[in-house]
Amino acid sequence: MQIRILGAAAGGGLPQWNCGCGNCAAARAGRIPSMTQSSIAASADGRTWAVVNASPDIRAQIAATPALHPSGPRDVPLRSVLVTNGDIDHVAGLLTLREKQPFAVFATAEIHAVLDGNPIFRALDPALVDRRVVRLEEPVALAPGLEARLFAVPGKVPLYLEGEMVETDLEGEQTVGVELRAGAARAFYIPGCARLTPHLAERLAGAPLLLFDGTLWQDDEMIRAGLGAKTGRRMGHMPIAGDGGAIEAFAPLGIDRRVFVHLNNSNPAVDPESAQAAEARAAGWEIAFDGMEIVL
């Protein structure tokens, strides 16, 4: 199995267009790597590919990934797009893929309902784009030799669907993790998760590879930086550090390779030279970057 990190950042990317924080300023100046918004590509044969989450930056991501380039006028290696929730940074890129190209969109019934509820997504010609409903825990073929299984993880509805009362650790079809399989190779991709439940810990124990939600370093990071009024947990994201953070929670699970993805522009670990990035590496974690390649 081949996995490419198309976009390692959370919504807004790095630098974020309206942010002048230290990380965004450093990225604009080229002192630290820029990152596009959350997405990966996976393949079992290196010729046909599936994308997991359609970032608003998907056009640039495909352009930066030769394996995804067309080999003819309309001959592309992309076979499908799987969506793990209805967040803008995971679905907006579908509109870029509207150019009369056949592929399949895989998602749960609840996530498809979000797409169906917005008429702009009708730009994806139903005669060419096959929208396929995926049930939790049932395997589906994303591309030749590449299988996915979706499972519920704690999360919340997209920001634009929030009401007066917000539940941040719902477990159902609105936020899912993905288990990818290609032959004996196996990997987990969970770009959004509010907490590690006993059931999720049991599923992930001993996994060969985990790509996991690294949105914020500290739960109150954005509040401290003056960049927002919400904690990470309020936004449906488990922090990396601190009590109950991912570094602490995943330490006993015996996962072979652990990579933080979906990194917010405020997260100090996006700077490879930061103390936080060093702390994550010392704890056995890698920090994802655009263009990162993993082979299992």
Q: Give the separation between CA 41 and CA 62, rounded to whole angstroms.
A: 10
Rounded to an integer, the average pLDDT of 251-259 is 98
How high is the pLDDT of residue 211?
Answer: 98
Q: Can you say whether the dihedral through the CA atoms of 149, 172, 57, 217 is positive or negative? A: negative
Q: Give the global pTM.
A: 0.95
pLDDT tens, 82-130? 999 999 999 999 999 999 999 999 999 999 999 999 999 999 999 999 9
Percent above pLDDT 90 for the chain: 89
More confident: 248 or 225: 248
Q: Give the separation between CA 178 and CA 206, rounded to whole angstroms.
A: 16
pLDDT tens, 262-292? 999 999 999 999 999 999 999 999 999 999 9
Considering the domain delimited by 2-290, tell me its CATH architecture. 4-Layer Sandwich (3.60)
Half-sphere CA count of 27, side-chain side, radius 13 A: 26
Quick one: 88 exposed, middle or buried, by C-beta within 10 A (0-12, 13-18, 19+)?
A: middle
Q: Give the separation between CA 22 and CA 3, rounded to whole angstroms.
A: 30
Instruction: Assess whether pLDDT exceeds 80 at residue 75.
Output: yes
- Tell me which of 17-21, 71-75, 224-228 is least confident: 224-228
How high is the pLDDT of residue 233?
Answer: 85
DSSP H or E stretch at residue 81: strand 78-82
